[in-house]
């Protein structure tokens, strides 16, 4: 955890300004995390104050850059995050039309859990 007052005056003012002007609540929350961390709060105290889990706070405190507000955006929301390929989806759709017993299974009905294996 960074030491108390790890932000210089200009960085702190920039974050305070961004906190007031940022429209996205999740980015404001992450800015607040840095300001509280700078005030000497622990990650656990920040999580309790904000009302979220330590698992939510910790990565942003470690990997976020208070000098780069773009680093406080959740990059996972951008782009296509499909894990299943088109080929897999087509195969799955074909299989669910089949009787599991005809494919050698002991059960007679597909469930999500059975298809996930």
Question: How far is residue 57 from each of residues 3, 29, 81, 103, 108, measured CA to CA in Å?
Answer: 17, 9, 23, 47, 46
pTM for this entry: 0.63
Region 23-40 average pLDDT:
94
Token pair of 9 as six digits: 């005056």
Query: For residues 5 and 66, what is the distance between their CA atoms, to the nearest angstrom?
Result: 13
On whether residue 1 sits in a domain, the answer given is no
100 and 68 belong to one structural domain: no
Handedness of CA 39, 42, 48, 54 (dihedral sign): positive
76 falls in which pLDDT band (50, 70, 90)? low
Tell me the backbone φ, ψ of residue 68, rounded to 5 degrees: -140, 95
Cβ–Cβ under 8 Å, residues 2 and 44: no
How many domains does the structure of the chain reveal?
2
On whether residue 55 sits in a domain, the answer given is yes
- Structural domain harbouring 101: 86-116
On whether residue 3 sits in a domain, the answer given is no
> What length is written for the chain?
117
79 falls in which pLDDT band (50, 70, 90)? low
């Amino acid at each position: 955890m960074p030491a108390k007052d790890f932000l210089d005056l200009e960085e702190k003012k920039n974050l305070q300004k961004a906190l007031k002007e940022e429209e996205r609540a999740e980015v404001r929350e992450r800015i607040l995390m840095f300001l509280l961390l700078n005030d000497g709060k622990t990650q656990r105290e920040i999580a309790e104050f904000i009302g979220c889990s330590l698992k939510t706070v910790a990565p942003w405190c470690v990997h976020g850059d208070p000098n780069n507000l773009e680093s406080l955006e959740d990059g996972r929301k951008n782009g296509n995050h499909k894990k299943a390929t088109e080929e897999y989806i087509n195969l799955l759709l074909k299989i669910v039309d089949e009787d599991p017993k005809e494919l050698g299974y002991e059960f007679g009905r597909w469930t999500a859990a059975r298809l996930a294996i």
